[in-house]
Structure 1
């Protein structure tokens, strides 16, 4: 079992308690989910509260397990205070990017901690790019840097094609938040791990270019 910090326990507990409330109270769920119309009418709390709601137990479990495994990597590398800052800023970055891309869709809604969790995941990848990740149905470990680049590219494709009921833009926004803050807090990574800093930036540059060209 991993040595889990109290901050991670508090975050996971908050997600579980608020998500369970949302599972059983549809009015509560609708009041605090990410919704473009609600936010445009002044309900900015949705930008934050929506990240503690989940669609179902499997959605909640996946996000919390990912956080459980990667939070210690970030905490051990940068400390608990910076970990919490990265989590919260990535959460907001994910929802801000979603708002930017869907601002003209009043009925667009979303929920989940994926943006915040992706920020923690990408921070962990910057610190330990060669750690092995085991994914479903793949019996061998995949280098974290390969997963990071591939997932961002898939998220860009998912945004363009609107694949599934998934907030691909929130994933990218969260990853961007974790990436940027980690480099801000630990600028020495530009010297010690320049290759991974550049490599993880490539999908973000592709997204920027595609957006400028009106392709996404």
Structure 2
């Protein structure tokens, strides 16, 4: 079993258990007061639970399609656990700004793997900018989707009209790009070369 499939399997099992177990959610969800009491595992554990089936399905489908492609890159660069380290680091880094902004807010909670998934997605876009991504079954060039995704996330993060952690999406995306550039600097000229030669395969 690949690392991507293992992450998906564990996340699905824990998420399904959490759908009917409020106590499990309370133990794993990201909650600043608990973190301040030393429960640092919540920086990772919040990515194992989801609000509902749709939330879980969207994240795991995205991870499945793009994680399989990127896993070989990170394992080749960092060893057999390279992708797992990349993903875990993304989950942690993506939630840190939310923690800093809400460390004194006992009402703030966050859950879901979106930070890690965003990192995988944007790392993929970095090496495949003109790949076709289906957005609600509508084909879209990956690089254009990235621009729209970032603009929408920034707008929604400022509006604060929903319960989605758009900040984690943005920081996860940034982590995916920065980590990949630091681990494989050659990806920068490769990205620029690919960007200058648009390919539309709808």
Q: TM-score, normalised by structure 2?
A: 0.88
| Mapping 1:11-160, distance limit 5 Å | 11-79=7-75, 81-136=81-136, 138=138, 141-160=139-158
Q: Is the 8 A contact 2:3 2:71 kept in 1?
A: no
Which segments of 5 or more consecutive residues in structure 1 lack a partner in the other structure? 198-216
* Alpha-carbon separation, structure 2, partners of 1:115 and 1:82: 17
d(CA) in 2 for partners of 1:195, 1:163? 39
What is the deviation of 1:65? 0.4
Q: 2:74 touches 2:86 (CA, 8 Å); kept in 1?
A: no
Backbone CA RMSD of aligned residues: 1.8
The separation in 2 between residues aligned to 1:77 and 1:40, in whole angstroms, is 36
Is residue 174 of structure 2 the alignment partner of residue 186 of structure 1? no
Taking the aligned partners of 1:179 and 1:97, their CA distance within structure 2 comes to: 17
In structure 2, what is the Cα distance between the partners aligned to 1:193 and 1:158? 28
> How far apart, in 2, do the equivalents of 1:78 and 1:32 lie?
27
The Cα shift of 1:150 comes to 1.3
**SS state at 1:193 partner:** helix
The whole-number CA distance in structure 2 between the counterparts of 1:42 and 1:75 is 32
